[in-house]
Amino acid sequence: MTIKSFAIILFVLALALISAIIIPNWNRHIIFLSNGDAIEVEKTWPVLDEVFYEKGAGTLFTVKTDQVDEIVNGGFSSINDWKIIISRAMELREGVFGVLMRKMTWLICLAASCLAVAARFIHYIVSMKTSIKENDGDADEPIRLSISPQSPDSEKIVLFFLNIYLLQLRAKRTDRCHYRLSDAKGPLNTSVYKLNANVGGHWQSRRISLGRIGEDSGARSKCFYAIFDDHLVIKIPPEPIRDFRRYMESIRADRRIADILAPRECLVPKVSLVLKKIPMFARFMDQLTGDDETRCMEALNIHPAFQDFLKNGEGFVFYMDLSKYYFLGNILNECHDTSDAFSREMDKYQDMIFMPAAFADRYGDAAADISLNLQNAYHNFEEQLNNNTIPEFQKKIWFTRIFQDGPLAANPEKIPPDAEAVLSRIKHQYADTLDAYRKLLRKCAREQSFKRNLSRTQSIGSRLIELLAWLFFKNIAIRDLKPDNLLVAGDPSKYPQFLMTADGFEIGLIDVEIAAYVGTDNHYMDQPKLGGTPFYATPAHMFVNEVLKELFDDIPYIYKLQDWYAAVAILYQAVTGEKLFVSTARIMASMTKEYGSSIMSRVLSSPDSSRSQDRVAGSGGNL
């Protein structure tokens, strides 16, 4: 029984007791005489020196006023009257007081209380045994949702976390659950899904934000950004990893790269990020000592059934913690997002189209023709509207709607249908002028954005060069440098101010999947995974070590040049907001399809084909 239920029962009992006292004594009249007697009557009427009272139907009596000490009435007149009435009822044991003041009544209440406590205790013992039995059953075989291998990756991830949510709610296999995509948008333009579960007859829900990281390009793995208690990066390999030992070898390979780069911030997969969210597995971890990852691995050895909770569909998935960091890619997008500056420029300086001198001062003499053409468009609008009753300022307000993108009807401010029809014709007639004006505004917005973010861009460029130098002297080639694979580590309470100086933050690494240690001799260097992202990759990304040795002789230097090439592309993107090697990226993508199989056939036909094949399929950067 909850405290709320107990309070309600006490309130009901108290209300019943008060009712049992008040109802029998309501409007009760008692005359107290000087000699100590008391007369209970139906009604009283004090008249001069006598008090008339009715006792019984139609029976009238009188008593002298000097013989009466007090007349009390059980109504709304006085609280003191009620005190006297209740005291008298208690003395005479009248009504409910006659029952309450009997010894048998209290014995019955005591016996009932003891029975209630005993019943509650028995129920508690039975429920505890049932709970223990259910928990033991769940520990042996935790609930698992079926995830089809053919489902989209985003659906697999949502179902995976819905499964985690069910485990957190201690749901049974018979409990219902579902998810749905909401209209809301989460951080970094992620999609928000609502997870719903009916546990114990009550619907409960929570949300998860999920979005894709990076572009659909030649990168080996697909990465997603998710918010479920923590901020996570979820990496799905292109080919499912079904063997747990191979999965752990890949994580250890990434960890070795991170250890070499220490103390540089470098995110590597951790199995504890997910498994510690499962209550029954967390209890196993609590019984062990060490950090989260050590305790998690030891608990997995004891309870290997939980290895399946690291899978998403048919293969294992990698999870990385992004709670303290920011994506460099998103920061660059924010720096070059000119939509707000464009809108401010248009709203603030639209009136200049009617002032050629001011228009030329702001946008240059070459823009004077655009101002004249816009004025001609307005005069044309005014002539076709042909309504002198409309004030000039109102016509200009309506005319400014011609600059908006999309259909005119999308604007919430209503204008007369005839004016809207004229605007549509003018918008089509002067389309080239309007495009030229928008390009002028976009150029101005970009210039303002560049000036506003100059210090931030300089700091990012400085830190990027510092990262490149760090990789060079650590003999590590990441081979997949790109904004979405770089993190920014700084004080979250000072974001984005810490980006203004290079000393305020550090650029770290998110994904080292195809990284390689290049501090060994050419002849003994292990083969990293092949891959790369076309906008930041070179043709050398497609070739195995044997081919690179024949072409360039110095393999480690070629791998370092791959990072330098990518750094140039990132620096260009940081300054301009645009991709640098667009045409090359298209060629790279086509070369991968056309020549990839023939290159691999040549390598695999060599005497060392079995060794090469193992290295291409294995983890990058074995040390």
- Provide CB contacts within 8 A for 82, sequence distance 6+: 25, 74
Q: State in Å, rounded, how far the first CA of the chain is from the last one.
A: 62
Instruction: Report the alpha-carbon distance of residue 236 to residue 233 in Å, rounded.
Output: 10
CA-angle at 401, arms to 411 and 334, nearest 5° = 75
For 36-50, 185-199, 323-337, which range has the lowest pLDDT when averaged over its residues?
A: 36-50
Beta strands 43-47 and 50-54 are: antiparallel
Residues 99-119, mean pLDDT to the nearest whole number:
76
pLDDT for 519 equals 84
Q: How many helices (H) and strands (E) does the chain have?
A: 21, 19
Report whether pLDDT(407) > 60. no
Residues 600-608, mean pLDDT to the nearest whole number:
45
Q: How far does Cα 456 stand from its chain's mean position?
A: 27
**57's tokens:** 């139907």
Predicted confidence band at 589 (pLDDT cuts at 50, 70, 90)? Answer: confident
Do the beta carbons of residue 574 and residue 332 sit within 8 Å?
A: yes
Report whether pLDDT(613) > 60. no
Report whether pLDDT(24) > 80. no
Instruction: Report the alpha-carbon distance of residue 606 to residue 615 in Å, rounded.
Output: 14
Exposed/middle/buried for residue 516 (C-beta within 10 Å: 0-12, 13-18, 19+): buried
DSSP-assigned beta bridge partners for residue 271:
none
pTM for the structure as a whole: 0.67
For 5-14, 111-120, 436-445, which range has the lowest pLDDT when averaged over its residues?
A: 5-14
What is the percent of the chain where pLDDT is above 90? Answer: 33
Predicted confidence band at 231 (pLDDT cuts at 50, 70, 90)? Answer: very high
Report whether pLDDT(363) > 50. yes
Q: At 273, which amino acid appears?
A: L
Do the beta carbons of residue 481 and residue 515 sit within 8 Å?
A: no
pLDDT for 177 equals 93
Predicted confidence band at 218 (pLDDT cuts at 50, 70, 90)? Answer: very low
Residue 314: how many other CB atoms lie within 10 Å: 13
Please tell me which residue, 478 or 103, carries the higher pLDDT value.
478
Q: What is the pLDDT of residues 410-453, one digit of tens each?
A: 444 577 888 888 888 888 888 898 888 888 888 888 888 899 89
Instruction: Report the alpha-carbon distance of residue 172 to residue 165 in Å, rounded.
Output: 12
Q: How far does Cα 214 stand from its chain's mean position?
A: 19
Sheet holding 325-327, edge to edge: 325-327, 486-490, 505-509
For 161-165, 491-495, 543-547, 585-589, which range has the lowest pLDDT when averaged over its residues?
A: 585-589
pLDDT for 54 equals 78
Q: What is the pLDDT of residues 65-100, one digit of tens each?
A: 877 777 777 666 666 676 777 776 776 666 666 666
DSSP-assigned beta bridge partners for residue 228:
230
Residues 7-20, mean pLDDT to the nearest whole number:
75
What average pLDDT is seen over the chain? 82
pLDDT for 215 equals 61
For 92-101, 184-193, 247-256, 566-575, which range has the lowest pLDDT when averaged over its residues?
A: 92-101
pLDDT for 469 equals 95
**14's tokens:** 């108290």
Report whether pLDDT(18) > 50. yes
**45's tokens:** 């009427």
- Provide CB contacts within 8 A for 573, sequence distance 6+: 332, 483, 579, 580
Is residue 398 classed as helix, strand or coil in its secondary structure?
helix
Q: At 301, which amino acid appears?
A: N
Residue 367: how many other CB atoms lie within 10 Å: 19
**337's tokens:** 């997002």
- Provide CB contacts within 8 A for 361, sequence distance 6+: none
Residues 571-600, mean pLDDT to the nearest whole number:
77
- Provide CB contacts within 8 A for 176, sequence distance 6+: 197, 198
pLDDT for 25 equals 66
pLDDT for 314 equals 83
pLDDT for 200 equals 86
For 65-69, 157-161, 503-507, 603-607, which range has the lowest pLDDT when averaged over its residues?
A: 603-607
Dihedral (CA of 449, 450, 451, 452) sign: positive
Predicted confidence band at 409 (pLDDT cuts at 50, 70, 90)? Answer: very low
Instruction: Report the alpha-carbon distance of residue 565 to residue 11 in Å, rounded.
Output: 78
Residues 479-505, mean pLDDT to the nearest whole number:
93
Exposed/middle/buried for residue 373 (C-beta within 10 Å: 0-12, 13-18, 19+): middle
Report whether pLDDT(332) > 90. yes
Is residue 124 classed as helix, strand or coil in its secondary structure?
helix
Report whether pLDDT(134) > 70. no
**509's tokens:** 């690494």
pLDDT for 621 equals 34
Residue 534: how many other CB atoms lie within 10 Å: 23
Task: Give 535's DSSP letter.
Answer: G
